[in-house]
Homo-oligomer: A and B are copies of this chain.
Amino acid sequence: MPRRTFSRRFLAGGAVAAAVGPAAVGSAVPAAGAPAAAETAPTAKGTVRRARAGGEVRHLKMYAERLPGGQMGYGLEKGEATIPGPMIELVEGDTLHIEFENAMDVEVSLHVHGVDYDIDNDGTRMNRSTVPPGGKRTYTWRTHEPGRRKDGTWRPGSAGYWHYHDHVVGTEHGTGGIRRGLYGPVVVRRKGDVLPDKQFTIVFNDMTVNNRGAGETPDFEATVGDRVEIVMITHGEYYHTFHLHGHRWADNRTGLLEGPEDPSRVVDNKITGPADSFGFQVVAGENVGAGAWMYHCHVQSHSDMGMAGLFLIAKPDGTVPGHEPHHPPGHEHP
């Protein structure tokens, strides 16, 4: 497609939510007075930015809203809900207070994976932590650093690629809320973790990608050499296998090998089921160059039905070799 069209589409839909980077997160949380989550300033050849130390107490507003077409979404401002919801990025040791408002006419909640919370922040009806129509409440999420317990064992830290979702719309497990789009990514970093230049969130939710069906699935854009982070979440009913052409990642905590001794498998295809999440960083086009690199579910009927999109990696001059206004399988641009 013409690049102009692509960019417009890219900016219009769910991919925006999927591309909130560390700096943007910083600016979206002004109440916390948090600087961008980096120790060193701009990305430059030969350097990487790394996660700051944790320990901040941050405040965020979040809204649950109805969206066109029967969808629902989370957003940081009223009228700005997206699918997936906004990226929440923390460093181990941070605490996040989320002032949550239910701008819908049905009960909703916010249930999170991976981080610490008291039972009354569970986001379940059973634990009385849902929010009625028009209601407000604060959810508090905490994170912690790894360390040695008194008994000598090692306590893992909170770092990981996690996610949040509704746990009450439709059923007491939030099946209706999740189906309509009430989910989003959470990344908890360890101090010193490598920060990406760009972030994309890909959610295989039933037969959609980010609740977008065949022909409407998101593409993602980068330039050769960008350090791109992909957060991959699965929701719904089916198992999937996430495959990315031309790029691989380590099947471990960071998606990055720590060094020559790291025994983790390097993969380019991974089976996932509902509520699984993982993430990784790739250097766009490393060893393979620019191009329109497909990502897709590798369950054959799923890809054939359109669970596929493009990782468009441009040359420094902005062109993507061989990429013209034609379509990946099951993927049609308006």
Chain A positions near chain B (C-beta within 8 angstroms): 45-48, 113-114, 116-120, 122, 124-128, 142, 144, 146, 149-157, 159-160, 171-175, 178-179, 194, 235-237, 239-241, 243, 245-246, 248, 250-254, 256-278, 283, 286-294, 296, 298-301, 303-304, 308, 321-322, 326-330
Contact = CB atoms under 8 A, between A and B. Distances in A.
Contacts of A172: 304, 328-330
Given A146-B260, A241-B276, 14 more contacts: A48-B152, A118-B288, A122-B246, A122-B294, A124-B245, A154-B257, A171-B304, A173-B308, A179-B300, A235-B300, A241-B273, A252-B263, A271-B271, A274-B300
A292 B126 contact: yes
A289 B327 CA distance: 51
A273 B299 contact: yes
Interface residues of A, dominant DSSP: loop
A120 B290 CA distance: 10
A119 B276 contact: no
A122 to B, nearest CB: 6
Contacts of A240: 273
A310 B232 CA distance: 28
A125 B308 CA distance: 14
Nearest to A331: B126
A265 B278 CA distance: 9
Contacts of A289: 118-119
A298 B269 contact: no
Given A159-B266, A330-B172, A294 B256 contact: no
12 contacts: A45-B150, A47-B151, A124-B294, A126-B328, A175-B301, A239-B271, A239-B273, A240-B273, A257-B263, A258-B261, A273-B299, A274-B299
Given A194-B153, A322-B127, A291 B118 contact: yes
Contacts of A253: 263-266
Contacts of A272: 271
List 10 tightest A-B contacts by C-beta distance, closest first: A119-B291, A172-B329, A271-B273, A275-B298, A241-B273, A175-B300, A173-B303, A116-B287, A252-B263, A269-B275
Contacts of A174: 300
Nearest to A123: B245
Kindly name the residue among A142, A157, A240, A299 whose own CB sees the greatest number of chain B CB atoms within 10 A: A299
B276 A269 contact: yes
Given A237-B299, A273-B271, A329 B291 contact: no
Contacts of A179: 300
Contacts of A259: 154
Contacts of A322: 119-120, 127-128
A9 to B, nearest CB: 17
A284 to B, nearest CB: 12
A294 to B, nearest CB: 7
Contacts of A329: 124-126, 171-173
A127 B322 CA distance: 7
